[in-house]
Each structure stands twice: as C-alpha cells, then as structure tokens.
Amino acid sequence: MIAYLIQGKEGCIFGKTNHLGIVVVDALRASATTIMLLHSGAKRILVTDEVAHALHIKSYHSNALLYGERNGLPPAGFDYGNSPRETTHARGKEVIFTTTTGARLLIEGYDESIPFLIMATTINTKAVSNFLKKQNKDFVVVPAGLFDDVNFSAQEDWVAGSYIVSLLDVQIEHGKDDYEYWKEKIDLEGIEQLFNSAPHADKLRKIGLHEDIRWCSQTNISNCIPKVVKKEKEYIILENIGSY
C-alpha cells in the first residue's frame, strides 16, 4: 500500500483526483464525536456543511437530533454540541451533524468513484488500521486543520494521523518528513501531551471545553469506523461499517 499525508482541503482534492481512499482526521473533535455517536447507537449521521442546511434537514427529519458547532459551541437551535462526551443521547436516533472543519472536509472529499471515505482519530486507530489492511488500497490521510485557514496549526490531527500510519506497513509517498517528525514527537512526549499543547486545545480551553481535550486523546476505545455510504441533495450519510 502507498500512503499520502496531505492537510485539509488539498488532501481531499488529491484523494478524489487520484481515486484514493480518504481518511479524514479531525482529532479535536469531529472524528471523535462521529465515532462515539455511532458507538453509542445512533442509527446514522446526516452530515452537512452549513448550519442553515442542518436546520432545514431537521424540518423533514423531525425526530433527528442536531449535533454540531460553530466556533466550538452549539449553534442556536441545536440539541448538542460537537462533543464525544454528549453522544449517549443519540442512541436509536438519527443525527444531523455540522462542524466548522470536519463536516466540510467530508463533503469536500466525497466522490462515489473513490474506494472509501472514513473518519478516524486516536480513539479508533486499531480498528482503522485493520480496515486499511483489509482494503489493501492506496489512501490519503487528511489531517484536518482549520477549513478556512490553511496556516492554522493542525498539530493534533497530524499526531493522530501519524499514529494511524505508524501501525501500517506502507510506503509514504507524500508527507513523509511530517510523519517522521510527528512520530518522533509521539515517542518522546506522548499523544495526550501533544493534544494538550496544540493551539486548537487552547481555543477549547477558552470556551470551557478542556475535558474534551483529554477525552479525545484516548487511544483505541472504540471499534466503530464512520464511513460515507451515500450522498443526498443536502447531506452525506455516515454509517458504522462494523468492527475491525
């Protein structure tokens, strides 16, 4: 297998153009939240890129719960934010989901011709590595960063993405220097410390969401893998593809 590590929207475009599997890593917090929504028993997740679209989808999916954030906090009219600690409320429910970056990258990355489009982070790394081995397809890991700011640090996303790749016997064609840098940092400092020192973590602490940082830095607590299975007019659908 050949792996590529390319940040943000550029990584999604590269994956589509080259017909690669795409692994979106938004470690703080969209990857962890979608994983835990499905782990907690949500039926499926309807992912959209705008708050207005989410509210409109709610008008014809009236029993669905609205999860998401803008600037880290739940938009007006939403049931819950983008926190993996709030996901137990979704058991047996459909979820409508929108976030600043992770949701938008899923929309950006969708193309029915690519092998797969999944979400991953440290909490499902073992399952994802097993899935990638079984697929045996070339893929791109997309450390999310910030959708509208390519210069914003994607530290935690590179950490999680590099951790996933470290469990695989792959040839890295793009992003090898970054991978080796972050793999060495993981070995020296550990995942939790690197999540804590990330600029995105500072933003979460400022709005009182420090507990989410520690929660999201856990490893291998779920076998769920959110995978895009279908596109509708206003949303794409994430479902759990099973345990690996």
Q: What's the pLDDT score for residue 189?
A: 98
Give the pLDDT confidence of 28-66 residue by residue, as tens digits. Answer: 999 999 999 999 999 999 999 999 999 999 999 999 999
Give the pLDDT confidence of 189-233 residue by residue, as tens digits. Answer: 999 999 999 999 999 999 999 999 999 999 999 999 999 999 999
Give the pLDDT confidence of 92-120 residue by residue, as tens digits. Answer: 999 999 999 999 999 999 999 999 999 99
Residue 151 has pLDDT above 90, yes or no: no
Mean pLDDT of 67-79: 98
- The strand pair at 94-98 and 139-143 is best described as unpaired
Q: What's the pLDDT score for residue 94?
A: 99
Q: In this structure, what is the dihedral angle of CA atoms 67, 72, 73, 77, given to the nearest 10 degrees?
A: -40
- The strand pair at 117-119 and 44-47 is best described as unpaired
Give the pLDDT confidence of 162-175 residue by residue, as tens digits. Answer: 999 999 999 999 99
Q: What's the pLDDT score for residue 26?
A: 99
Residue 188 has pLDDT above 80, yes or no: yes
**Domains (range + CATH), the chain:** 2-240 (3.90.1560.10)
Q: Read out DSSP for 72-130? A: TBPPTT-SB-S-GGGGGGGTT-EEEEE-SSHHHHHHHH--TTSS-EEE--GGGHHHHHH
**Percentage with pLDDT > 70 across the chain:** 100
